[in-house]
Amino acid sequence: MAKSWTQRILRALLIAIVVMSAATTLFFAAAVCLGMIVVLVSLLAVAWAANPAAFRRTAAALRDQLSAWIDQLTQLVSHFMTCVRTGIDTAMNARDAAEPQQKDPSRSDDTPAKP
């Protein structure tokens, strides 16, 4: 028997905890972003009502800043995905190294074959 039922249950619980943690984090990040957008729209409405010419200048500066934030967010997500891929590759290599190598009887050389 490769894995006992307790190991399978514990693994399923660990996976569920990780998935729920990620989902909760994304939910709160989305809530914070939505709150920031509401505050920003409110401030822009006040600025428009106070002085339309100043609002246009502010909107142009805000557009430039938002573009910079989007670029930074894109770089952050790219870096995060690279880290995730590296972690997965490391885990797969460690798993492959931990598995016993089996020889393929049909091969003529002595190099071990993966199952």
**pLDDT tens-digit profile of 89-103?**
888 888 788 777 666
Domains in the chain, number: 2
In this structure, are 6 and 46 located in the same domain? Answer: yes
In this structure, are 8 and 40 located in the same domain? Answer: yes
The pLDDT assigned to 85 comes to 85
C-alpha–C-alpha distance, residues 82 and 5, integer Å: 34
The pLDDT assigned to 1 comes to 47
What is the rounded average pLDDT for all residues in the chain?
81
**pLDDT tens-digit profile of 41-80?**
888 888 888 888 888 887 888 888 888 888 888 898 888 8
Q: Is position 32 within any domain?
A: yes
Q: Is position 8 within any domain?
A: yes
Is the CB of residue 114 less than 8 Å from the CB of residue 96? yes
The pLDDT assigned to 101 comes to 67
Q: Whole domain around residue 67: which residue ranges?
A: 52-99
